[in-house]
Structure 1
Amino acid sequence: METRLYIHFNLIVNNVLTNTQYPICMKKDEFDQFYKVLFKGSRGKCIRTYSQFPPAQFYK
C-alpha cells in the first residue's frame, strides 16, 4: 500500500513471509534504496511485484 510519504509492504524470501505480524513501513526513498540493495545482493533474482490488493511484495 502506498501513501503520500510511505510504502507498506510484505517481504517474502524463498516463499516464506518474513514479517508475520504487520507490513513493513518505509519512506519512499528508503524503500527504493532497500530494493536496489536487495536486487544487487540477489544478482537480479529479487523482483518487485504488485498484486491486485496492496501491499507491494518482494519475492526472492
Structure 2
Amino acid sequence: CAEAHDDLTGAGGAGQVIMSFSAVPVGGTGAAPIPTMSEWGLIALSSLLALFAFARVRRR
C-alpha cells in the first residue's frame, strides 16, 4: 500500500512531499512433497534392469 501526501504552499513555492511504502511478506507454502517409488516399484525396476543386463551379457 503506498501513500503520497502533497502539501504545497503558495503558487510555485517550496513544497513538501511525504511518501511511505509498506509490504506484506508472503506466507510460506510449507514443504513440497518429493515423488518417490514404492518398494514394489523398486523391485520391479531393478528386476527389469537385471533382465536387460543378463540379455546383453548373453548376446556377447
Establish whether TM, by shorter chain, passes 0.5.
Answer: no
Of Structure 1 and Structure 2, the greater strand share is in 1
More helix by share: 2
RCO higher in 1 or 2 (8 Å CA, sep ≥ 6)?
A: 1
Larger radius of gyration: 2
